[in-house]
Amino acid sequence: MPPDSATSGPAVAVAVPSGEGARSERPGVTELRLSAFAGHRSAAFPLGPVTFLTGSSGSGKSTALRAYEALARLGGGAGLGEVFPDPVAYVPERARPDAQRRRGFRIGCTADGPEGPVRLDVAVQAEPELRIVGERLTSGGQVLLETALRDPSRPVVQAAWHTAGSAPVTRGPLPDDRLGTALLPLRVAGRTEGQRRVLAAAEQTVVALRSVFACDPRPEPMRAAVRLGAGRLLRGCGNLAEVLWRTRTECGRRHVQLVAAAHAGCAGPVADLLAQPLDDGRVRALLDRGDGVRTPLGLLGDGELRYLALALVLMTGPGVLEVDPVGEVPAALQALTVLADGFDRALDARQAGELARLAVRMGARGHIRLVGAVSDASWAKGVAGVTVVDLDACGR
């Protein structure tokens, strides 16, 4: 089950992103490929700085985001079993086992950056044992890394990476439960020009994938007071009041911008966002209406709470979000990708449009990217800088 070198049936992109220019120094994922993953077959989705996947229920929006997150976790060095605890769920429904009863799935992406477009394609065997059975890293049409399962009785794959020295390639075993691309910096010395090219391509891919924050704000926990802790926003944003307490004192400029966003997306006037300490050591969040009235966030509707949480996510960045950035790479060379399933859940068109424009503004310098799944993207099609991918118009 080798990884595909090409896919067909590209997704339809609408509202081409603005800001064309020189290649970004910050690596980013510009295409997600689901060659055979759950309900997707030969699918390729273009990803801009701000991308919304849209389509009817069952079109595979959430599945595409799960594939992206899985690649990100593998790029961060996570084990295959940790990333896919139920791998059979991602095997295409009509996939038939081969003579050895093997079935699996294939996913991949393209990471663009200083090295140009670099393609990563991965083939995963889900049955009878979970393992990576093929991986290919290519750049400029040249294969820089290729792995294949040679001996099913051993937990390794045979790898070959580009050397361009006294020998054109170097061969060696790699574990079958880890992404080989993420392991290359530990195996390649970088003595030849070919080895340095392999390292540069692998590092670009890992940096593009690693900094991901999968976010799905849950309104009910946000209504409650919370205890002060690390001040890092969790995936469900239930500790929103705690993070507001931190950001209001640590970053006044961003807080002013957040208040302006709250004023644009919440009903009634908003003069400030506050975190009020309580006698029991907890804090609760409030909207200051500017006329002496302070509204606890617990009284807001689900849409307003989700809007505030998503605005906070887009404005704060990895220093405040519960993410694992690439520690050995300067922050100025990294871009955080926010994955938001059900991005428009409980939002009206005005709120969704405000968040889309906020994402474009925050991503203008390349520090943040957004991939969201939405049920209806009609509000986004007129927003400059946004890519809309309609999964109903794509082959699955």
Contact 125, 1 (CB under 8 A): yes
pLDDT at 18: 37
Contact 389, 12 (CB under 8 A): yes
Query: Looking at the whole model, is its pTM more than 0.85?
Result: yes
SS3 content of the chain, % helix, strand, coil (to 5): 30, 30, 40
- pLDDT one-digit tens code per residue, 201-242: 999 999 999 889 999 999 999 999 999 988 889 999 999 999
For the cut 90, the answer to whether the pLDDT of residue 52 exceeds it is: yes
Q: Which of 5-19, 156-170, 179-193, 366-380 has the least mean pLDDT?
A: 5-19
Pick from 1-5, 22-26, 62-66, 249-253 the range whose average pLDDT is largest: 62-66
The CB-side HSE value for 224 (13 A sphere, CA atoms) comes to 9
The pLDDT confidence band at residue 259, using thresholds 50, 70 and 90, is very high
DSSP character for 102?
Answer: -
For the cut 90, the answer to whether the pLDDT of residue 165 exceeds it is: no
pLDDT at 360: 95
| 270: CB partners within 8 A, 6+ apart | 259, 262, 263, 287, 288, 289, 290
pLDDT at 8: 41
pLDDT at 320: 79
pLDDT at 143: 96
Residue 73: φ, ψ to 5°: -70, -40
SS3 category, 302 = helix
- pLDDT one-digit tens code per residue, 95-136: 999 988 999 999 999 999 999 999 999 999 999 999 999 999
The pLDDT confidence band at residue 288, using thresholds 50, 70 and 90, is very high
For the cut 50, the answer to whether the pLDDT of residue 381 exceeds it is: yes
Q: Which of 24-28, 49-53, 167-171 has the least mean pLDDT?
A: 24-28
C-alpha span between 335 and 388 (Å, rounded)? 20
If you average pLDDT over residues 371-379, what whole number do you get?
95
Residue ranges of domains in the chain: 12-211, 222-320
If you average pLDDT over residues 257-263, what whole number do you get?
94
> In whole angstroms, what separates CA 211 from the centre of its chain?
7
DSSP for 248-259, please give it: HHH-HHHHHHHH
SS3 category, 201 = helix
